[in-house]
Amino acid sequence: MINICYLGAFLGGVLSFLSPCVLPVVPSYLSFITGISFEDFKTGDRKLIRKLTAINSLGFILGFSTVFISLGIFSSFMGRFLATYYDLIRIVGGIIIIFFGLYVMGVLKINFLSMERRVHFKSKPRGAVGSFVVGLSFAGGWTPCIGPILASILLVASTSGSAFYGFKLLLVYSAGLAVPFFITAITINTFLSRYTGIQKYMKLILILSGMLLIGFGIMFLTDSVTSLIGYIPGSFELHPDKRFCK
């Protein structure tokens, strides 16, 4: 069975992609990293455009995944030193995650989370390497909608005390963000024609994102993953000392 934390991390990545902070700017990012205009996307050489889009998108994905995975390893590494305070971290972390969920749903307004910190390039370094650099910038920006979801997953990673687990958890999160991004990239014409229809579901996406975070926060706060095992045998793997899930 699928580990609940991995499933949550993957869904968190998908919801990060669908958030109003990311989805609307995907065409602009694709145009920037490929050097292809919106008009050329529609009328240019389809085969060449798809090749350029795929190569540069993979470079971009590798860039943001490198940052996210590094954060996961660092969080887990720090958690090893804070293992003595596990219960305190779990309780405080659970409260923070619930607040993040309420923020994403629009119930709370937290100004510092709404500050965008991306580095803006006037011109992109060329090729896949340039796209990798832009991916690093994108991840380092800690955008408003990605921030709360990513921070919540990093809190989960920090309780494991295992750098390898932090690596795996953030790899899964990155995959959740990367898969829909890549699919959108190679089907950009379809995306551009359907985006208006997708916009009407943005509020629902924010509510689902917030509910995911609140659910994780409650489980984190109450340490209830252990209790769930009794109802779904074999579904989850836990630390030997029952620390959240691994």
pLDDT one-digit tens code per residue, 129-143: 888 988 888 786 655
Q: CB atoms < 10 A from the CB of 167, how many?
A: 16
Res. 225: pLDDT tops 70: no
- Establish if 26 belongs to a structural domain: yes
Taking a C-beta distance cutoff of 8 angstroms, is the pair 34, 53 a contact? Answer: yes
Q: How many helices (H) and strands (E) does the chain have?
A: 11, 0
86-105 helix and 146-158 helix, angle to the nearest 10 degrees: 170
Could you tell me if residue 182 is inside a domain?
Answer: yes
Domain assignment present for residue 221? The answer is yes
**33-80 pLDDT tens trace:** 888 877 777 777 778 888 889 999 999 999 999 999 998 898 887 777
Flag whether 236 is in a domain: no
Domains identified in the chain, total number = 1
Question: Residue 126's pLDDT is what?
Answer: 65
Q: Is 60 part of a structural domain of the chain?
A: yes
Give domain status of residue 84, yes or no: yes
Domain contains 244: no
Domain range holding 218?
4-118+125-228
Work out the mean pLDDT of the chain and round it to a whole number. 75
